[in-house]
Amino acid sequence: MAEQKKEYTAESIKILEGLEGVRRRPAMYIGGTGKDGLHHLVYEIVDNSVDESMAGYCKTINIQIGKDGSCTVIDDGRGIPVDVNKQYKKTGVEIAFTKLHAGGKFDKDTYKISGGLHGVGASVVNALSTKLTVQVRKSGKIYEQSYKRGNPTGDLEVVGKCKDDEHGTSVSFLPDPEIFSTVEFDFAFLKKRLQEIAFLNAGLKIILEDVRTGKKEEFYYAGGLIEFIQHITHSKSPLHKPIYFKKQQETTVVEVAVQYSESYNENIFGFVNTINTTEGGTHISGFKSALTGVINDYAKKKGLLKDVDVEGDDTREGVNAIVSLKLADPQFEGQTKTKLGNSEIKGVVDSLTTTALSEYFEENPSIANKIVQKAIAAAKARDAAKKARDLVRRKNALGFSGLPGKLADCSSKKFEKTEMYIVEGDSAAGSSKMARDKDFQAILPLKGKILNVEKANPVKALSSEEVANLITAVGTGIKENFDQSKLRYNKIIIMCDADVDGQHITTLLLTFFFRYTPQLIENGNIYIAVAPLFRIRKGKDLYVYTEEEKEKKVKELGGKADVQRFKGLGEMNPQQLWDTTMNPKSRILKRVTIEDAVEADKTFSMLMGDEVGPRKEFITKNAHIAEVDL
């Protein structure tokens, strides 16, 4: 029978009433339905409380994770309006929690500045929760209304009394397991963002409690951005005390903290109305332009530039900066607000930053001189690094296909299918080359441990044969020359031994990718292969990945099994390596992501940098949870 064609008529167009559209396409509103999306619900409600703080009405926000898996956010702001809106014939509470694009964010008199999700935050959280209850305390009364998957289960009612001067809002919600792949809130995950919010709002107290475990953290920073920048540079050998300024042009407030360190890495974090703009935007462009201009102008004025041209990248080597904007009408690119798009803001930030930094440099010549000298050193190093890169290119041009001689390439031309395994040691390289599928799997062996690029300057790093081979094999180039379109393999997989040395090599490689090609992590191209620790043989081979898993499996098998512990990948024969670690149908891969750029930078600096104190403190604190390989 011929297939019957369906008519495309007006009847084909579906209208999603109320919040049904949010439930159908949640990723459009919260970015995804995994761990990130789940915690985004908390941030949306917290952002509404922060808006009250920025308006001058809220001093404390309390976030509680309940035993039932719920999250409750309590603030001491003005409280959501409980009176009836004449247009909709509903209370302000019900409108806020059931109508998209409804809220005080659109009334410039109510919130001159806000970070909430364009007026959809509360209603989106409501739509994606099995149950949500809101309580408002104001005018001596406690009002309450509950909802189920976005729909009211009753009217807003007075359920009790409170003191006449007591005010605020409490929102308690239970995420919907039909929507999310996980509905378990992560205390540590929430802690990072909430601490960030407290840093950005000097004088605001944020309390995080986990009723399940009894954990409790309190964040309060009277120093705001100054304490934030010191937190970031804690393990980086700062060159000077923090530079801080706060300037305003009309309704736009620009607040900046800057502190250079002896490291070679650039770390500039942007925030707009406390929202972390991880992809940057016009405010970051304006700051960078001002920094380059001020340093160059000061250096020329003092006659410090001789036979060297200082470029933008040079002025940002070793810089740590926080650029925080309070903006009346931010235009974000994308629903989850990761990039600021207001074109006029670039000029505003550039102008205010130029004025503030120029004044600071004139008043603090010793600090200005340190910063300029660092930029000049960076410019000289850049020239030397360019020569090193050119040398690498010339060497590669002499070899076959310009690729490292040790690379065992794959034959497939289908990019989506291709993957490159990075392995260490001759035995592991030999096994993996025999185990792989030559059609789509390439092998790049490393000789020993790759250079720690956190400590090494770019010239030394690029002069390293192993680093050069890695850069060439990946194909994208690095830092300012990075080009995603030139990536040679869709997946880059770090495959090291499960012992301490293997973990160290993995960390060294991750440090390289984070500092030189962070885009590969952001785009989801970097993976870590998970190799089994034990083989249990009883009739057939079983592979397990942890000590606990081994004990459980041996017990299930009656306590009589032949158990072999793999101390390295080289101990596996090619078939075992294929079955456990390289076969796409049976292997376990961990995709590397950056959940929090501020925390990631701090952690890499602490683990791989020159400062011994913070690393020793970290090891002492976490030694009890480390596995001992006997």
**Cα–Cα distance between 9 and 428 in angstroms, integer?**
62
Q: How far apart are CA 180 and CA 35, in angstroms?
A: 8
CB-CB contact of 353 with 286 (8 Å): yes
Tokens 């592979």 belong to residue: 543
CB contact at 8 A, 183 and 38: yes
Which one of 314, 466, 497, 601 is the catalytic residue?
A: 497
Q: Give SS3 for 135.
A: strand
Would strands 540-544 and 84-85 be described as parallel, antiparallel, or unpaired?
Answer: unpaired
Q: Which of 392, 574, 568 is nearest to 468 (CA)?
A: 392
Give, to the nearest 10 degrees, the angle between helix 35-54 and helix 187-200: 30
The identity of residue 276, as a single letter, is N
Exactly one of 501, 549, 571, 595 is catalytic; name it. Answer: 501
Given 144, 186, 499, 610, which residue is catalytic? Answer: 499
Residue 499 annotated as catalytic? yes
Task: Judge contact between 173 and 75, C-beta under 8 A.
Answer: no
Q: Is 10 exposed, middle or buried (0-12, 13-18, 19+ CB in 10 A)?
A: exposed
Q: Is 497 a catalytic residue?
A: yes
Please, is 478 exposed, middle or buried when counting C-beta atoms within 10 Å of its C-beta (0-12, 13-18, 19+)? Answer: buried
Burial class (CB in 10 A: 0-12, 13-18, 19+), 599: middle
Tokens 């049904």 belong to which residue? 20
**How many Å apart are CA 77 and CA 15, to the nearest integer?**
36
Token representation of residue 519: 């885009």
In sequence order, the 6+-apart residues with CB closer than 8 A to the CB of 367 are: 239, 240, 241, 243, 360, 361
Tokens of 615: 């690393």
Cα 561 from Cα 92, distance rounded (Å):
66
Does the annotation mark 107 as catalytic? no
Active-site residue, 47 included: no
Radius of gyration of the chain (CA): 28
From 75, 255, 266, 424, active-site residue? 424
Question: What single string gives the DSSP state of each residue in 169-182?
Answer: EEEEEEE-TTT-S-
Catalytic sites, residue numbers:
424, 497, 499, 501
